[in-house]
Amino acid sequence: MLSQSVVQDVLNEALSTGGDFSEIFVEDRYSNSIYLQSGRIEKSISGRDYGVGIRVFKGLQSVYAYTTDFSKDGLLKAARNAAQAIKGDVHILANPLEKATYPIVNPIIQYPSEVEKSRKVDVMKKAYEIAKNYHSSISQVTVRYLDEEQNVLIANSEGKFVRDKRVRGRLAIQSIAARGNQMESGFYGPGASQGFEFYENLNLDHYAGEASRIAVTMLDAAPCPSGKFPVIIDNEFGGVIFHEACGHGLEAAAVAKDNSVFANRIGEKVASDIVTYIDDGTLANEWGSINIDDEGELARKNVLIENGILKGYLIDKFNARRMGMESTGSGRRESFRFAPTSRMTNTFIAPGKSTPDEIIANTEHGIYAKYMGGGQVSPATGDYNFAIMEAYEVKNGKLGKALKGATLIGNGPKTLQLVDMVGNELAHGAGMCGASSGSIPVNVGQPMVRVSEITVGGSKGE
């Protein structure tokens, strides 16, 4: 990593044409990815990504540049190039840098770099055997192992100088069940901001077994009816619908430009009284947790919606200027190649008072979405459509036959208003979120919730 004196010089050079704020982001990332298919290791890739991002502000103008040249001359040249886009009359110098400390949200016990590859492969092979042996119809299982260690240094002209070490691991399991010409898939991808202890403590029987159970169950699933129904969305990965349909609309990147249905609505009722929506980067060792964000701000818990009332947004430093508000520790980026912007960490609906059994028993007729799949959303309008990976009919307060081909179609803000029951068992699910600052690890989460009506697209009429 760079010396404090070199960083100070680079920050000053970035201000040399009249900028009022400069920042440097230094990254040294090590990653390992192993791919297993049909019981054999097909691919193993280890890599290192090393570079520096330099950013300059002048009022509401922002310029970003990056380089992989770590020499002082190379860094000064990159800072000078970024500064050329800024034209100002007053030249200032960066404040003297002061090293900052912070609480550790994600303690690490065993760094993956210190673990032999054979132990990593053993975890993968065990997951493969569990998934493959689940049922005779399982025709193929793939397992992907990932670990990474990201070391960063973040400094800015306000005097901030902070280092951070981020360690994450994830195991992605996909099972294919086949019967004749019919094929169905199931997936589970647990992850955590932990060292290799994450894999040693992972319940492989559950995760590998679930991937195969989903695939096998869908072989016998009936076509889903279409129409408007009450929809029960289970916990854990069910939270992806609110992450996409509501969470992105609460990010300052959209709000500051009035490209969000939630813009200029703080204090207004935007959801059901029983909905509280939170983004919390401080949950210990969760996949989306951070010690500090990618602008050097402390991780924190941000209550976005409380009992239906909009309380705030997720804000990065640049959009804080646009909005006249303070950063919420939400500036994130994939790597040094991206300028940071407002992004989620662990976003979830807070638990309510109903048990899952009560929610199902109080639903006369509807759809139960156990696991959500992928989807699309427009942050400007909140309109969405999402596939359901595993669904069931609900009839007379009981779960019925499995359904396939189900899609949920609706509007995020309207869906928030129609939540009429919230369960008491919160769970989080690991995922990757893509936006203008790249792909980053996030958790989606919620307890089981019931929405009184959502349009369900299916291959069978109601």
Q: What is the pLDDT of residue 238?
A: 85
Distance CA(2)–CA(52), nearest Å, equals 10
Mean of pLDDT values over 351-368: 97
Residue 173 has pLDDT above 80, yes or no: yes
User: Residue 50's pLDDT is what?
Assistant: 96
- In the chain, what percentage of residues exceed pLDDT 90? 93
d(CA 52, CA 68) in angstroms, rounded, equals: 6
What is the model's pLDDT at position 380?
A: 81
For residue range 232-286, list pLDDT tens digits in order: 999 988 888 899 889 999 999 999 999 999 999 999 999 999 999 999 999 999 9
- The model's confidence at residue 357, banded by pLDDT at 50, 70 and 90, is very high
Using the predicted structure, report yes or no on whether residue 228 has a pLDDT greater than 80: yes
Q: Work out the pLDDT band at 382, boundaries 50, 70, 90.
A: confident
Confidence of residue 460 (pLDDT cuts 50, 70, 90): low
Tell which residue, 134, 133, 159, has the closest CA to residue 7: 159
**461 pLDDT more than 60:** no
Say what the pLDDT of residue 381 is. Answer: 86
| pLDDT tens by residue, 125-169 | 999 999 999 999 999 999 999 999 999 999 999 999 999 999 999
- The answer, yes or no, to whether residue 2 has pLDDT greater than 80, is yes
State residue 89's pLDDT score: 84
Average of pLDDT values for 360-368? 97
Mean pLDDT within 432-444: 95
Helix axes 72-83, 4-14, angle to 10 degrees: 20
Give me the residue spans of the domains in the chain.
4-32+47-99, 112-150+165-220, 223-457
pLDDT for the residue numbered 223:
95
Residue 371 pairs with which residues in a beta bridge?
Answer: 390
Written as one letter, the residue type at 216 is V
DSSP code per residue over 97-135: PEE-----SS--SS-GGGS-HHHHHHHHHHHHHHHHTT-
* Each residue's pLDDT tens digit, 449-458: 999 999 999 8
For residues 14-24, give the mean pLDDT: 97
Please name every residue paired with 398 in a beta bridge, in sequence order, or none if there are none: 395
CA quadruple 392, 393, 395, 400: dihedral sign: negative
Is the alpha carbon torsion for 121, 123, 127, 132 positive or negative? positive
CB neighbour burial string for 41-55, b if at least 16 within 10 angstroms, e if fewer? eeeeeeeeeebbbbb
373 has pLDDT over 90: no
Q: pLDDT-derived band of residue 378, with 50, 70 and 90 as boundaries?
A: confident
336 Cβ contact partners less than 8 Å away, ≥ 6 residues apart: 25, 26, 27, 49, 51, 52, 53, 66
CATH of the domain spanning 112-150+165-220? 3.30.2290.10
Residues in the chain: 462
Buried b or exposed e, range 5-37, using 16+ CB within 10 angstroms:
ebbbbbbbbbbbbebbbbbbbbbbbbbbebbbe
CATH of domain 4-32+47-99: 3.30.160
b/e per residue 72-110 (b: at least 16 CB within 10 A): eeebbebbbebbeebebeeeeebeebeeeeeeebbebee
Averaged confidence pLDDT in the chain:
95
